[in-house]
Structure 1
Amino acid sequence: MDRPSTPAQPSATRTLLRLWPYVRPVRVRWTAAAVTAVVASCLGLVFPLVLKWIVDGPVADRNPKGVWLGALALLGLGVAEALLFGFRRWLVARPLASVEAALRADLYRHLQRLPVAFHDRWPSGQLLSRGTTDLMVVRMFLAFPLTFLIVNGVTIVVGLILLLSQDWGLGLVLLAPAVPLIAVCYRFEDAYARVSRRAQDQVGDLTTVVEESVLGIRIIKGFGRHRSQARAFRELSHTLRGTELTKARLLAGILAVITLLPEAALGAALVVGTVRVADGALSAGTLIAFLSTALALRWPIESIGFLLAMSQEAATATRRYFEVMDAEPESTEVARASAVGGEGPGAGAGGGGLRFEGVEFRYPDAPAGSAPTLHRVDLHVRPGETMALVGATGSGKTTLTALVPRLYDVTAGRITLDGRDIMTMPRDELRALVSMAFEEPTLFSASVAENVLMGAEGATPEQVARALDVARADFVDGLPDGVGTQVGEQGLSLSGGQRQRLALARSVVGEPRFLVLDDPLSALDVHTEAAVEAALRRVLADSTALVVAHRPSTVQLADRVALLSEGRIAAVGTHQELLRTNAEYRYLMSGGTAAPGEAARG
């Protein structure tokens, strides 16, 4: 499955440091938790010293009271260690949950600000996995691996100091595997990072398939494609399984090496130490303390592979998160004036209404050298006028309407509203002036009223009722809770015509000055369409409107018609004028979808 390409990746450490702004607010509690864990871990290294004192002291002197005193000391150390580790977990639980929540909130907020072109490129499952699975991995890393990388590092250093201070010869025997271990860990990190990235990307692909299958369940069932969808899911699952097994093999390999080399060194130290005790060069208590300290370091050393693996997964998850966060959002500031004309006192004189001047547009991901989707479009929709936009499939109608509210920005030329270049207008102001209804109506898992109010947040109940009346959405009265009825995900509990009427109501509820309608009545039957058109005329009389139309009945709403052909405005006139003078227009109005050349020959 295609996904956006990723640039060369920085080191894991540099990547993870980008989380610092989110960790900073909880740094005191996190630091306290880390210090607590270090103290608890280092308490474990006191056990061998107590054992040495017991063996060389009370046991050698046959002093039962001293043995009991040592036993109580060991019990106290064990209780203290357990309490400290419990306190550490309490310290980090709530703060790190808030870090995850802040990361997720920022991601969601950023996704809303990213341009439509970004969402065109990114599969929704990839974005969903970044906001769920990846952030869970980051939270777990901050709660456990990061803390214990520090804790175990300090513990190993302190333990080695204790070992060398007890007997430097035996200490050097245990240190012998250090260099090969470092080399193996370095190679492991690089290999595991690549496999971890591949696995997390495949999780995103799998999430996309699941999401598409759920949203498209009617298509899958309607065409009997459940087997092919299941096969696609199995193939992706099998691929992910293979990647996860590769991860498991890498982890098993590093754990085997990390376990084997220190164990071999410990065995060698045991043999050397036993010989020295037999020769009287080393006390039994010292050997017991030395071996106990070495055994206490087993878990910190053997956990290195596991902690490095989790760290690499967290670094990969962090990279995936910031790949989205680093994407450039829509600017909240005004942009430059367009190349055609400037913004001055006389700019746009006589250009009231909606005007396209030399507009060109090419999609951001279009192949280099390909023809633009729109080329030198010049069109003027006068104030209060309704202009129908007609053209064959693929002529660029939907693209042209998407330029008005700046869902995409023009490549060249400019668009003005009442003489103002939209590129110099704040997006919030522009989108308050322009209201849209799309051919594919999107509804949200909310009530009817909430869906309509997305078109004008401050609209009154009376305005909502008026908008529903204009859209002839009288079916709402028959719903269980009227306008308070939940319409369900994607509005799939409603028919296509009902969804389209609610989308139309959403576009007119705010009584906008400029209205852009992309074939808003395509799913309606003839009688409902006629009723909606009759009510819509009242709204259009007070707005400057551009209406994409495919049927003559929709064209009748317009004062004039513009014919868009191969990305250019080929003709402008009234419906009757174009029927008389333009062969392509006649062909389209008769139900044809031929290319302009074919229409002309017809």
Structure 2
Amino acid sequence: MTTKDDSRQSKAGTTCDTDVVSGECSPAEGAVGRGAFALLGRLMAPYRPLAVAALVTLLLDTIGTLYVPTELSALLNSAIGAQGMGPLWDHALRMLVAAVVGSGSCVASYFLAARLAADVGRDLRVSVYRKSLELSASDFERFGTGSMITRTMGDANVVQQTIVMCFVMILPVPVIAVTSVVLAWGIDPAMGQVLVAIAVAMTVVSLVAIRRSAPIFLHLQEFVDRMNVRLRETITGVRVIRAFGRERRERRHLDETFEAYAENAVRVNLIFSVADCTTFFLMNVVEVLFVWLGADRVGVHAMQIGSISALVQFAIILLFFMMMAQFAMLQVPRALACLTRATELLELEPSIKDSVREAPTPPAEELLANERESPVAEFDHVDFRFDDASEDTLHDLSFAVRRGEICAIIGNTGSGKSTIAKMLLRFHDVTGGELRVAGRDVRDRSLADLRSRMAYVPQRAWLFSGTIASNLRMAAPDATDDELWHALDTAQASFVRELPQGLEARVTQGGTNFSGGQRQRLAIARALARKADLYVFDDSFSALDYKTDAALRHALSSELGASARLIIAQRVSTIRDADQILVLKDGRQVGLGAHDQLVETCPTYQAIVESQQRGGDLRG
């Protein structure tokens, strides 16, 4: 069960086109783009002072962390040398101050890094979401709904977490490594050389782990995309799955998807576990080595016994931070992959752009007069072709929708009826000819101005989670309760008055707590709440019974008598009273006229009527 939105997601230019079961990925597509670093720089630019403050507190934390072992060594050496209590108290006080400063700086650095990451993550989510609102229907289908959700939420979370890790786990390592080696070398050059060797060994282990894990991390976000798609379509279509008894099949497909993700995650965890165990082993080795070598150096009076404690602490601190950096570095390729995916989306030029020429405000009198005289919508030899199609979907359409009239469209399935409605709203742009609204090409109007003139009822009556009132006010934010009730009455949605909460009755996502006919009537009421020049009904009466259909059409005629109405329908009974009916066949205009005229002159329309009125008079 693959939806149209999600079926094309593998073509979206994602970071890695990974097979769900095999986990294979093309290296060319899996490569991280350079734009990831540029995007990260743009996101962090407004927060430079916050980043600097985090780095300063991080430096103080590092200094405090390394200063404590130094003073501990001096304290032990003073105690062993029987220099009295005065030096001991001095060293103890310095250790306390260093611990307090280091701890306070640690808390501050974590807070500042988390705040920086949260701000960057928020800006990334907002940017991706706003960009998604700018995309045309064809642009959006390149990515798919599941991928868009992952890019907005999951990818931003990965970037946010990685920023925190970089600040608190990776950036301190160079300072700690250099300082630890210098301090150890100052105590004893031989011990300093040992620490350098251990650090190099740890670096090799980390690089091997990162090299083996990074490609797998690059794949994981793609697996998340696939899981989102599978879960979304399975949960949405659960009734169909149950109706056909396909639970076992869908469970098996989900298990394959989850198993593919789990196998890759286990591989990463296994690599990290080996590296983690190796690090702890090196910690123990270096501790034993320093004690053993230190005892020998103390025995020949080349080093004081308290210095052994400092050397062990330097080694443990260095290896611990290198181990944490190793874990954080494994997240960096994944974060860069997420940034690359975001860059792909943010740098995409929408195929439909808002007009740079804005309509005059207020319009000139002659412009208003021209708009009143012109058809509300006029198709002038319009052609349309989808981006991935080899031939036109619509061919040479020429008709007009006028004020106070009903224009209906009927035709065989796949003839392009709904595409006409989407072109009016500029969800798609014409590829040939000209489409004018109120006398002006739609491409010369701003999208806000164009869509404010229309009220649209989509083919799929989609409702949003909230209340009935909040759904209706999407079309008219300032509508009063009385106006909403009027719209509901016109739409024959009398069932709302029977609900205990009335307008405040809850609506689940998609309106699944209402029947198909109730959802359609609520969607129609939402459109009627707006005062528009053109009302577009895209097969919006299909779930209504004949009696409700007739009552609704009668109410619309009384309510919208002065406005233009475009009705796309499958039933002849819904459109027989239209002022003009456009008949489509395979994307071509094969008839245009009133019902009686088409019954006499249009074979395609005759066939449609005959199929719906077997044995009856074609004139009804």
Look up the equivalent residue of 2:134 and give its one-letter code: R
Q: 1:335 to 1:193 in 2, by over 3 A?
A: farther
Task: Give SS of 1:328's match.
Answer: coil
1:493-544 C-alpha deviation (Å, 9 max, x unpaired): 1111111111112222223112221111111001111100111123453122
> Matches of 2:110 and 2:467 in 1, distance apart?
42
From 243, 247, 257, the equivalent of 1:222 is: 243
1:117 aligned to which of 109, 115, 138 = 138
Q: Distance in 2 between matches of 1:335 and 1:357?
A: 22
CA distance in 2, matches of 1:483, 1:578: 43
| Matched residue, 1:600 | none
Secondary structure, aligned partner of 2:420: helix
- Counting only pairs closer than 5 Å after superposition, residues 428-439 of structure 1 correspond to structure 2 as 428-439=448-459
Shift of 1:400: 1.6
Q: Which residue of 2 aligns with 1:213?
A: 234
Worse-matched range after superposition: 515-524 or 200-209: 200-209
Other structure's SS at 2:434 match = strand
Q: 1:585 Cα shift?
A: 1.2
Find 1:306's aligned residue among 324, 327, 331.
327
The counterpart of 1:197, out of the listed 218, 222, 238, is 218
Distance in 2 (CA, whole Å) between partners of 1:318 and 1:419 is: 44
Cα shift at 1:357: 1.9
Q: TM-score w.r.t. structure 1 length?
A: 0.87
SS in 1 for 2:398: strand
User: What aligned pairs does 1:244-259 form with structure 2 within 5 A after superposition?
Assistant: 244-255=265-276
- In the superposition, relative to structure 1, how do residues 102 and 202 fare at CA in structure 2: closer, same or farther (>3 Å)? same
CA contact (8 A) 2:467 2:506 kept: yes
Do residues 443 (structure 1) and 463 (structure 2) align?
A: yes
In structure 2, give the amino acid aligned to 1:569. Q
Give 2:563's aligned amino acid: S
Distance 1:384 1:302, change over 3 A: same
Residue 358 of structure 1, aligned match among 378, 381, 384: 381
How far residue 189 of structure 1 moved from its aligned partner, in angstroms, is 3.9
Distance 1:359 1:92, change over 3 A: same
CA distance in 2, matches of 1:108, 1:374: 32
Distance in structure 1 (CA, Å) of the matches to 2:34 and 2:287: 32
Which of 456, 472, 496 is matched with 2:516 structurally? 496
- Structure 1 447/11 Cα, relative in aligned 2: closer, same or farther at 3 Å? closer
Local SS of the residue matching 2:380: strand
Residues 93 and 305 (structure 1), Cα distance of their counterparts in 2 relative to 1, 3 Å cut: closer
Match of 1:480? Answer: 500
What is the alpha-carbon distance in structure 2 between the residues aligned to residue 14 and residue 279 of structure 1? 59
Alignment partners' CA distance in 1, 2:458 and 2:314:
71
Alignment pair present for 1:5 and 2:13: yes
Q: Deviations over 1:29-55 (max 9, x none)?
A: 443233223212222222332233234
2:20 equivalent in structure 1: none
Number of the residue aligned with 2:318:
297
Q: Which residue of 2 aligns with 1:51?
A: 72
Task: Report how far residue 144 of structure 1 moved.
Answer: 3.3
Q: How far apart are residue 314 of structure 1 and its match?
A: 2.5
Q: Map of 1:399-548 to 2, 5 A cutoff?
A: 399-548=419-568
- Retained in 1: the 8 A contact 2:383–2:395? yes
Is 1:387 matched with 2:410?
A: no
Task: List per-residue Cα deviations over 1:338-391 (Å, max 9, x = no partner).
Answer: xxxxxxx9x99996332212222222233xxx2221122222334433221111
**1-structure distance, mates of 2:504, 2:160:** 38
**Which of 561, 564, 572 is the equivalent residue of 2:592?**
572
Q: Distance in 2 between matches of 1:225 and 1:9?
A: 34
Amino acid at match of 1:120: E
Query: Alpha-carbon deviation of 1:129?
Result: 2.5
- State the distance in 1 between where 2:207 and 2:545 align: 67
Contact 1:117 1:408 (8 Å CA) reproduced: yes
Higher deviation after alignment, 419-428 or 269-278: 269-278
Call closer, same or farther: CA 1:237–1:503 in 2, change over 3 Å: same
**Residue 241 (structure 1) aligned to one of 236, 239, 262:** 262
Aligned partner of residue 439 in structure 1, secondary structure:
coil
After superposition, residues 25-36 of structure 1 pair within 5 angstroms as 25-36=46-57
Could you tell me the TM-score, scaled by structure 2's length? Answer: 0.85
The correspondence of residues 159-170 of structure 1 with structure 2, limited to 5 A, is 159-170=180-191
TM alignment of 1:266-285, pairs within 5 A = 273-285=294-306
The 1-side partners of 2:251 and 2:179 are apart by 55
Q: Please say which of residues 104-113 and 184-193 is displaced more in the overlay.
A: 184-193
Mapped partners of 2:612, 2:325: distance in 1: 69
**Residue 154 to residue 415, structure 1, CA distance change in 2 (3 Å):** same
* Paired residue secondary structure (2:544): coil
TM-aligned CA distance change 1:145 to 1:408, over 3 Å: same
On the 8 A contact 1:533/1:557 being kept in 2, the answer is: no
Of stretches 133-142 and 478-487 in structure 1, the one that deviates more from structure 2 is 133-142
Q: CA deviation at 1:23?
A: 3.6
Q: CA deviation at 1:430?
A: 0.4
- Is residue 283–residue 315 contact of structure 2 (8 Å, CA) maintained in 1? no
CA offsets per residue over residues 569-599 of structure 1, 9 Å max, x none? Answer: 1121221121112222111123379xxxxxx
Matched, 1:553 2:573: yes
Following TM superposition, by how much is the alpha carbon of 1:478 offset from its aligned partner in structure 2, in angstroms? 0.8
Aligned structure 1 segments of 4 or more residues deviating by more than 6 angstroms? 347-350
Q: Please say which of residues 505-514 and 473-482 is displaced more in the overlay.
A: 505-514
Aligned-pair Cα RMSD in Å: 3.2
| Within-5 A mapping of 1:148-187 | 148-176=169-197, 185-186=206-207
Q: Which amino acid aligns with 1:5?
A: G
**What is the CA distance between 1:241 and its match in structure 2?**
0.4
Instruction: Tell whether the 8 Å contact from 2:376 to 2:564 is kept in structure 1 after alignment.
Output: yes
Partner amino acid, structure 2, of 1:556:
R
SS of equivalent to 1:364: coil
- CA 1:360 to 1:484, structure 2 compared with 1: closer, same or farther past 3 Å? same
Number of aligned positions between the proteins: 583
Residue matched to 1:340: none
Structure 1 vs Structure 2: percent identity of aligned residues?
28
Kept in 1, the 8 Å contact 2:475–2:527? The answer is yes
Q: Secondary structure at the match of 2:611?
A: coil
Cα 1:219–1:293 change in 2 (3 A) is: same
Secondary structure (helix, strand or coil) at the match of 2:13 reads coil
With over 3 angstroms needed to count, the CA separation of the structure-2 counterparts of 1:433 and 1:143, relative to structure 1, is: same
> Judging changes above 3 Å, is the alpha-carbon distance between structure 1 residues 353 and 70 closer, same or farther for their aligned structure 2 residues?
closer
- Taking a change above 3 Å as real, the CA distance of residues 56 and 540 of structure 1, as seen in their structure-2 partners, is closer
Q: Which amino acid aligns with 1:490?
A: G
In 2, Cα distance between equivalents of 1:113 and 1:469: 34
Deviates more, 1:380-389 or 1:517-526: 380-389
Choose 158-167 or 427-436, whichever is displaced more. Answer: 158-167
Moved more, 265-274 or 453-462: 265-274
Check whether the contact 1:134–1:318 (CA below 8 A) recurs between aligned residues.
Answer: yes
Q: Which ranges of structure 2 fall in alignment gaps of 5 or more residues?
A: 1-6, 16-28, 359-366, 614-620
> Aligned partners of 1:62 and 1:483: how far apart in 2?
85
Q: Does the CA-based 8 Å contact 1:386-1:540 persist in structure 2?
A: no
Query: Which 10-residue stretch deviates more, 260-269 or 246-255?
Result: 260-269
1: CA distance, partners of 2:480 / 2:371: 35
Does 495-504 or 580-589 show the bigger shift?
580-589
